[in-house]
Amino acid sequence: MKTKKQIPVFKNEDQERQFWDKHDLTEFLDQLKPANIDFSQLKPSTKPITVRLPESLLHNLKKIAHKNDVPYQSLLKIYLSDRIKQELKSV
């Protein structure tokens, strides 16, 4: 019978890094337990940009956003996201 390898207790991250550089995680799968992690509060990082729009387009966007009780910038992000997904499907 094959002896199960034990994951050692590491003194610091450097020691752990050196260990995993020389070992394969699959050798220790039987010792690992799934972690319950909640990512629901995580927000993707954003980057501010400047977009020049015709006034009429901005006016109509704000009107639609107001009608749907959504900030116009959020609505713009939704529209962009939907269109990008659509375009990527056809690539």
Q: In this predicted model, what pLDDT tens digit does every residue of 15-54 receive, in sequence order?
A: 999 999 999 988 888 888 888 888 888 888 889 999 999 9
Helices 72-89 and 55-67, axial angle in degrees (round to 10): 100
pLDDT, averaged across the chain: 90
* Residue 64 in tokens: 């639609």
Distance CA 61, CA 78 (A): 12
Residue 4 has pLDDT above 80, yes or no: no
Longest dimension (CA), the chain: 76
pLDDT at 3: 57
pTM: predicted TM-score of the whole model, two decimal places: 0.52
pLDDT at 79: 97
Q: Quick one: pLDDT band at residue 2, thresholds 50, 70, 90? A: low
Distance CA 1, CA 14 (A): 33
Distance CA 63, CA 57 (A): 10
